[in-house]
């Protein structure tokens, strides 16, 4: 077992030397075994399928729908400008879409390629435009950092080392997606959960900066996450078993990141 672990670790390390990319703004190196040309089309197809599903109620008009699109486009414009000015031109392929979905779920997400969905159940928590920019900036942060592709890459490497890279390089995206959705042993699950928390914190950092670039005061993010914390009436699991940082940890971390984000804030909305 020990030799197997050492061999697997060596294989992953060797692959990582030749398949790394850098996250904008944070500068973190990440494992990158699958590219946008594999992930984005699958994400776009899933997004279209969701929106066309009769069970999905897309709110296409009205004040709230307009707010989602307006704030989303402001964030996208600011992000595209940042990427252009900092050497990332041509390295990202975004076809932005922003939709409001009627649902009591307190949630929002951004698929790879810039496909964003905001659930109406989160609007009472966001309250303000800055609160909504906090949520959308955070979710877009996951896409900018290519977290979905990174998690796919890690699980490909963990499952089969070099053989899994062959699966990814051959464009067999369905196989890669199956790997992501498969279950692992307890030890592996804990490792992935810990990694997910790291992704959440990175998305917080990116989201704060993006909202500042779009003209929203990053200080407002603290108030949003405090309101989110108040939603957790049923309690939360221990932090080491959670895919997200604890409320207290997240808020403290965001407060520490505000000075960095304020460097990009020119005032405004």
Q: Which is it for strands 97-101 and 115-119: parallel, antiparallel or unpaired?
A: parallel
d(CA 177, CA 10): 24
Residue of 80, 97, 105, 139 with catalytic role: 139
Strand, helix or coil at 161?
A: coil
Residue 187 DSSP symbol: H
d(CA 238, CA 7): 33
Q: Is 139 a catalytic residue?
A: yes
d(CA 145, CA 187): 25
d(CA 32, CA 249): 28
Got the DSSP string for 16-56?
A: HHHSEEE-TTT--EEE--S-HHHHHHHHHHHHHHHHHSTT-
Buried b (16+ CB within 10 A) or exposed e, 196-217: bbebbbbbbbbbbbbbbbbbbb
Q: Which residues are catalytic?
A: 139
């Amino acid at each position: 077992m020990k030799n197997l672990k050492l061999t697997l670790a060596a294989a992953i390390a060797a692959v990582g030397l030749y398949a790394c990319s850098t996250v904008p703004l944070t500068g973190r190196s990440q494992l990158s075994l699958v590219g946008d040309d594999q992930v984005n089309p699958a994400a776009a197809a899933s997004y279209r399928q969701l929106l066309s599903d009769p069970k999905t109620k897309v709110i296409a008009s009205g004040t709230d729908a307009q707010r989602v699109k307006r704030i989303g486009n402001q964030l996208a414009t600011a992000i595209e400008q940042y990427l252009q000015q900092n050497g990332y031109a041509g390295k990202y392929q975004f076809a932005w879409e922003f939709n409001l979905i009627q649902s009591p779920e307190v949630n929002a997400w951004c698929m790879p390629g810039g496909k964003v969905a905001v659930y109406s159940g989160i609007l009472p928590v966001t309250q303000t435009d800055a609160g909504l920019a906090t949520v959308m900036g955070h979710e877009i942060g996951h896409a900018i950092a290519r977290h979905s592709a990174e998690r796919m890459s890690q699980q490909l490497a963990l499952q089969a080392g070099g053989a899994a890279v062959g699966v990814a390089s051959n464009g067999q995206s369905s196989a890669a997606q199956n790997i992501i959705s498969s279950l692992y042993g307890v030890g592996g699950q804990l490792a992935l959960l810990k990694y997910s928390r790291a992704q959440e914190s990175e998305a917080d950092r990116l989201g704060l900066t993006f909202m500042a670039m779009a003209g929203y005061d990053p200080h407002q993010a603290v108030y949003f996450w405090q309101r989110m914390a108040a939603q957790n009436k049923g309690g939360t699991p221990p932090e080491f078993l959670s895919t997200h940082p604890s409320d207290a940890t997240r808020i403290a971390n965001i407060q520490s990141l505000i000075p960095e984000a304020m460097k990009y804030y020119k005032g405004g909305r």
